């Protein structure tokens, strides 16, 4: 990870320039805990090497699934969606520095996404 050192690292917000939401590739599973008997839900986000926009801040990024590929990614009949596991094009994306306040779950307000200098 880039920026490793003393003190907190600078957090960033990442978005599409057009403001549209985007989907991340991941896996989820529900399973029964063998000792407690309760249902445990787990989830992981799949990552890929960073695109040119994100590379200066990290060497990896989540896989972003395009809307045209949603059915393919989500289909239980898809034999091999590995070709979707690539860095998203950087041109439609943007990022900006945000407050260190994002590092605390006690903070939950829209100001967390405001750009800082």
Q: In this structure, what CATH number is given to the domain that contains residue 69?
A: 3.90.1680.10
Residue 6 lies in a domain: no
Residue 7 pLDDT grade (very low, low, confident, very high; cuts 50, 70, 90): confident
| Residues 43, 14: Cα–Cα separation, whole Å | 21
Report the range of poorest mean pLDDT among 21-25, 51-55, 60-64, 77-81: 77-81
Residue 2 lies in a domain: no
Given a cut of 60, is residue 48 above it in pLDDT?
Answer: yes
What residues pair up with 30 in beta bridges, in sequence order? 41
Residue 4 pLDDT grade (very low, low, confident, very high; cuts 50, 70, 90): low
Residue 5 lies in a domain: no
**pLDDT per position as a tens digit, 30-47:** 999 999 999 999 999 999
As a dihedral over the C-alpha atoms of residue 94, residue 108, residue 67, residue 19, rounded to 10 degrees, the angle is: -40
What secondary structure letter does DSSP report for 11? P
Buried b (16+ CB within 10 A) or exposed e, 40-74: eeeeeeebbebbebbeebeeebbbbbeeebeeebe
For the full predicted model, state whether its pTM sits above 0.85: no
């Amino acid at each position: 990870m880039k920026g490793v050192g003393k003190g907190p690292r600078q957090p960033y917000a990442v978005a599409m320039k057009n403001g549209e939401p985007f989907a991340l590739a991941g896996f989820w599973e529900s399973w029964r805990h063998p000792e407690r008997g309760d249902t445990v839900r787990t989830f992981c986000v799949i990552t890929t090497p960073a695109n040119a926009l994100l590379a200066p801040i990290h060497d990896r990024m989540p896989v972003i699934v395009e809307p045209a590929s949603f059915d393919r990614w989500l289909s239980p009949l898809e034999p091999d969606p590995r070709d979707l596991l690539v860095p998203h094009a950087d041109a439609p994306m943007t990022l900006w520095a945000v407050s260190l306040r994002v590092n605390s779950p006690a903070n939950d307000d829209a100001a967390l996404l405001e750009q800082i200098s």
